[in-house]
Amino acid sequence: MKEEFQFKKQAQLLPVDRIGAVYSVGFDNPYPRRMWFFNRYSKFTRRAYGADVTELDVRGRETNRIVATEAWYDDERRGWVFKDGRQMGYDPETGVNTSSTPFTELVFTRFREDPKLMMLIDRRPIDLSSTELRDLIDYLARENNPKSVPYAVRYFGLIADILSPLIVIAIAIPFAAAGVRVNPAVGVSKAIGLFFLYFILQNLAASLATKQIVDPALAAWLPNIGMTGLAVILFARLR
């Protein structure tokens, strides 16, 4: 929804190809051994402008490169379409350019990279939906990239937050059972203290996960586990 509002505002001021533009997009896909770079990608037109795709051999040496004015993923043709560019071949042993063929339009059905995934790289975890988080985690996990940790913590944290209302109720019941004669300032100070305690646990768990001391799934649950333990202690004191 936020992006749609931004597109409508930009449409009044910018050319179509610059609406929703993301600049200097890089994407490394290690298993097909392809490296992508776009000067600009418009999330409105879903097209890349100034596209450069490099194919590598098993030793990481360049074998083929496609440069094009425009590129986009075509769902009907199930592949990437490149417009107004040049395809160049390289000798991996020497790095010498062996061919250079211009083209008006070229379709590569073996290129199946998802442009939506390309746009998720380096975005803040809090700005991504659960589906986007899962897709990005899967991609980063395939290349053993440690950058997946904060995204994994955020993803599992969204799942763990399902139980947060129950934990709040469990903590609130002992306070309610304590009666109404307690000074209201005491209750407010306790509530503030509980908020900071949860905040500290959340940051501590994220830090442990980032340092790979604990699993991201466990780190996401640690704040709720801590608050659940506190609720159990408060219930025990009621007896």
* Residues ≥6 apart with Cβ < 8 Å to 54: 34, 35, 62, 64, 65
Q: Provide the 3-class DSSP secondary structure of residue 209.
A: helix
CB 54 within 8 A of CB 85: no
Q: Residues 201-216: pLDDT tens digits?
A: 877 887 777 777 878 7
Per the structure, the complete domain to which residue 22 belongs is given by: 2-113
Q: Residues 124-162: pLDDT tens digits?
A: 888 888 888 888 888 777 766 667 778 888 888 888 878
Interatomic CA distance for residues 164 and 43, integer angstroms: 35
Interatomic CA distance for residues 224 and 199, integer angstroms: 11
Same domain, 45 and 129: no
Same domain, 9 and 109: yes
Kind and range of the H or E element at 70?
strand 62-74
The predicted pLDDT at position 80 comes to: 94
Task: Let me know if residue 118 belongs to a domain.
Answer: no
Q: What is the largest CA-CA distance in the chain?
A: 87
Same domain, 84 and 149: no
Return the structure tokens found at 69: 């004015």
pLDDT at 180 over 60: no
Report percent pLDDT > 90 for the chain. 20
Count the domains in the chain: 2
The predicted pLDDT at position 116 comes to: 83
CB 109 within 8 A of CB 77: yes
User: What is this structure's pTM?
Assistant: 0.65
Task: Let me know if residue 201 belongs to a domain.
Answer: yes
- Band (pLDDT 50/70/90 cuts) for residue 9 is confident
3-state secondary structure 179-215: CCCCCHHHHHHHHHHHHHHHHHHHHHHHHHHHCCCCC
| Total count of residues recorded for the chain | 239
Same domain, 92 and 65: yes
Q: Provide the 3-class DSSP secondary structure of residue 233.
A: helix
- Band (pLDDT 50/70/90 cuts) for residue 50 is very high
Task: Let me know if residue 120 belongs to a domain.
Answer: no
Same domain, 156 and 108: no
User: One-letter amino acid identity for 45?
Assistant: T
Under DSSP, the state recorded for 116 is: H
Same domain, 73 and 170: no
Q: Provide the 3-class DSSP secondary structure of residue 107.
A: strand
Task: Let me know if residue 119 belongs to a domain.
Answer: no
